[in-house]
Structure 1
Amino acid sequence: MDQKRKDDDDLEKLLHSMPKRRDTRSKEEVLKRLENDERLSPTPVTSLRKKKRIVPLIVAAAVLLVAMLIPSFMNSLDLGEQIADEASMQEKSKGMPEAASEEAEMEGLSKDASTEFAAEKRGVVRDAIYPADLDGGRILHLGLQDVQSVSIPVSVLLTKEQIEAEGLTDSSTDLELYEAFAGLLDAQALGFKPMQPIDADFTEEGDRLNVLLNDAHEYALSTSEQEVFLHSLMQTFPSYLEIHILDSTGNPAEFDQVGQLEPIRRQGAQSHTPYYVYRQENGQELLSPNFMQQADSFEEALRLMQIAPNDLFDPVIPKELEFTVVVKDGIADVEFNDTVQLDSMEMNEASRLIDALTLTAASFDVQLKLSNVEPLDWNGMNFREALPNVLGPNPVSFIQK
């Protein structure tokens, strides 16, 4: 390649070094020369055979010259394109090192995918997560605070690789997941206030979680602060049967407005909560329980889900949708009076309806069975049998600060 380029360069130099000749003859001299030119006489002097020999030689010489010049011309074009591409790349990354540019691009892609999860990769749209969606990972449950001072439960999906990178395993407890990942989460990228780890120390005793509040905590400053704290605590640690909130001496903590705090028990009335649609200021819709409104039964919870409880939550079940509920042997069979055609509904609306029903059923420790629903196979679910136990609402990807 170097020898070829050298030959091209030598040829160009040779062509440029040739002297430039100028015709200084007058018009009269040129005319006289043409009149005396025997080649213009009626009888050609040069034979046909001689012409045939001269023309091919001229053509061959021209072809040879073109063949020698084309590679040089093409190389010039390639060099020009390469220079233009490099200039374009330098302009895009001007003022930003290459590594920083790549990092910024990956960060943008990560934040754009903040609400994607394993089920969506299979063409499934959901507002809740089920065992088949885990793909070998785990869920980090969190109660994140919205700008309207409401605690919203989210299910942060952690891959197996992320878990192993922190030295954890499949048998690690929810508390261990919380302590390893909660402080790293970029809650603002998910549309919430910055993540503030709970101002407390934790100990585990089997299914009991002890929360030892630090003396400087500010959860008792107002009733709203207390509510957000307690709701966030329940949403962050749903797997524990009991949560005991203690002061730094190990005694039950006392808040001015409510006095001594009772243990939070998962099987108690605190867990019997209907789910509603909560709309954030950015327009994103999530599913959330209304802890201010418990129900005595699963059927009552479904009736409540047809009415907006306040300005913060919207009903998830259409008011005109009629149904009957039969709970037996841990399965709640909800049969609609008229066939519910899921394909005729908006995909997000239909998915949100199903997921809200399964989440509410889980808060009553029953499994959901839906009857008179078509099609029987829809969005990855089989309505011929009871639906799988839901694991958590609002799945999101883990976005690190």
Structure 2
Amino acid sequence: MTHKPFDDEQLEHVLNNAPKLSDRRSKEEILNRLMADARLQDNSHLQEAIQQPIENEEAQQESKPLIQDEQPSRFKFRKMSIFTSIAAVFALTVLVGSMVMNNNTSQKDLASTPETANYSTLQEDRSAKEAATQDEALQSSIVAEHERMLSLRSSVYEEDVKDAVVFRIGLAGRDAESVPMTYVIPNERVATDFGTQKPSTLQMYEKYAPQIDEEAKGFTDYHPFKGELKEKDDKLVHVLPKDNNYDVASATVNEYKGTLEDTFSDSEYTEVEIQNEDGTPYEFSQEGEPSQAMSLTNAKHFNYYLYQDGNGAEYLSPDFRQTFANVTEALTLMKNKNDDVYVTVVPENVTYTVKEEAEGVVVTFDIPLDLASMEPIRATQLIEAMMLTAASFDQQLRLDNVVQESWEGFDLKTYLPKPVGPNKQYMP
């Protein structure tokens, strides 16, 4: 059976659930209405149904004498019953036909509605959308792969700050040492916090340093600095209170100065003056003389090791802030194990030579270095620690005699980019 708007089951359902009709008109009125209906005048079945009782009655009248009081009423009753039945059938036929027509009309109306038109358009564009979905899936796969490659990187690069600013801060480690952190803050957040005015480094420090949960990250609760920080021309002045924890021992003094350097170097300030509340230079008990202004412009040349905080997280950091005269020395001595706090990133069986060229510094491994033979995170830490070491001398790094031509998004066939800063972080 072909599919139709109403099949037998649907029609039966409609008839069974059709509203119960009631008609208070008299039978004579119904008969007169039917006889006057032009649609029934040429209906042979109706005319036959009307004529048949009349002919039957006439035959009976000829063969049987009439009972004067009974025969006319019986004929009238039978005639009215027939017409009543015909009227009911006709009404029901009109009702069902109307419902079918309404259903067809509704379907046509539905097909012409904006929603259905949109559906039709969507049907036509389905193949195009499926193709677009496949393209999006491919792009997502590429992005996911890119993110996976970048996931092992720990430093900040120029590509990370295209729509963001950098906030640097030194966090105090468990060994009374400053560990440099580089926070990437989106421009939108800075604009929300400071409006259209570009904030100074001190303003950013006062805004964002208190938001860092240092203890949760495995560091000492150190920031913001005790006392008062204020700007004086192109200098920064730190007024220390009489009672402070920065002057307890030589290690705490080094930690304090290290955190100042990691926080305010590469800023608009040229130096930091450390003063008493009366404006005189502060004298550290471990030094025995008034402190001199601490320069923020003289670049410190470090090499980078691996530091682990109290929670087990690993960071790349200078080894107790030891400085070097040249990049060759700094890179060569990265192989040495100097203490139990900082761990070298260079595996014991890996040896190399360092050469300075006009474009940058070149590290050539004595035996082809197969990065895939190392744990991926260790291989990435090795590359980035060397990159950070070269960057502290404002130089780019190239690695020669490496089996792989690329690693974690780094193109090892050429000079690698200079990191903006170590240990990428995001504000909570």
The answer to whether the superposition gives a TM-score over 0.5 is yes
Measure, in 2, the Cα distance between the counterparts of 1:150 and 1:316: 19
Measure, in 1, the Cα distance between the counterparts of 2:330 and 2:211: 36
Q: Is the 8 A contact 1:274 1:301 kept in 2?
A: yes
**Structure 1: which amino acid aligns with 2:363?**
V
Q: Is the 8 A contact 1:330 1:365 kept in 2?
A: no
Measure, in 2, the Cα distance between the counterparts of 1:216 and 1:289: 29
Matched, 1:231 2:261: no
Cα distance 1:158–1:361, how it changes in 2: closer, same or farther (>3 A)? same
Cα deviation, residue 215, structure 1: 4.3
**Which residue of the partner structure matches residue 317 of structure 1?**
346
Q: TM-score, normalised by structure 2?
A: 0.59
Matched, 1:368 2:397: yes
Cα deviation, residue 160, structure 1: 2.1
1:200-253 Cα deviation digits (max 9, x unpaired): 3131644x5443434444322221211110111111122047322321455543
Report the 3-state secondary structure (helix = DSSP H, G, I; strand = E; otherwise coil) of the residue aligned with 2:369. Answer: strand
**Which residue of the partner structure matches residue 12 of structure 2?**
none
Q: Is the 8 A contact 1:150 1:228 kept in 2?
A: yes
Choose which of 229, 242, 245 in structure 2 pairs with 1:201. Answer: 229
Which structure has more relative contact order (CA 8 Å, sep 6+)? It is 1
Measure, in 2, the Cα distance between the counterparts of 1:122 and 1:316: 19
Matched, 1:127 2:157: no
Cα deviation, residue 312, structure 1: 0.7
**Which residue of the partner structure matches residue 290 of structure 2?**
260
**Which residue of the partner structure matches residue 136 of structure 1?**
163
Measure, in 1, the Cα distance between the counterparts of 2:148 and 2:187: 17
Within 5 Å, give how 1:98-247 maps onto structure 2: 120=147, 123-167=150-194, 171-199=198-226, 200-203=228-231, 205-206=233-234, 208-240=235-267, 242-247=270-275
**Structure 2: which amino acid aligns with 1:159?**
P
Q: Which has the larger radius of gyration?
A: 2
Bigger mean CA offset, 313-322 vs 165-174: 165-174
Cα distance 1:374–1:164, how it changes in 2: closer, same or farther (>3 A)? farther
Cα deviation, residue 351, structure 1: 0.9
Matched positions, count: 279
**Structure 1: which amino acid aligns with 2:337?**
A
Measure, in 1, the Cα distance between the counterparts of 2:396 and 2:200: 24
Measure, in 2, the Cα distance between the counterparts of 1:343 and 1:170: 48
Cα deviation, residue 147, structure 1: 3.0
Measure, in 2, the Cα distance between the counterparts of 1:122 and 1:341: 17
**Which residue of the partner structure matches residue 126 of structure 2?**
none
Measure, in 2, the Cα distance between the counterparts of 1:350 and 1:204: 45
Q: Is the 8 A contact 2:271 2:297 kept in 1?
A: no
Cα distance 1:121–1:339, how it changes in 2: closer, same or farther (>3 A)? closer
**Structure 1: which amino acid aligns with 2:256?**
F
Choose which of 384, 387, 394 in structure 2 pairs with 1:355. Answer: 384
Identity %: 29
Q: TM-score, normalised by structure 1?
A: 0.63
Cα distance 1:170–1:363, how it changes in 2: closer, same or farther (>3 A)? farther
Choose which of 370, 388, 391 in structure 1 pairs with 2:417. Answer: 388
Report the 3-state secondary structure (helix = DSSP H, G, I; strand = E; otherwise coil) of the residue aligned with 2:399. Answer: strand
Q: Is the 8 A contact 2:272 2:296 kept in 1?
A: no
Matched, 1:274 2:278: no
Give 4+ residue runs of structure 1 displaced > 6 Å after superposition. none
Structure 2's unaligned 5+ residue stretches are: 1-145
Q: Is the 8 A contact 1:220 1:256 kept in 2?
A: yes
Structure 1's unaligned 5+ residue stretches are: 1-118
**Which residue of the partner structure matches residue 35 of structure 2?**
none
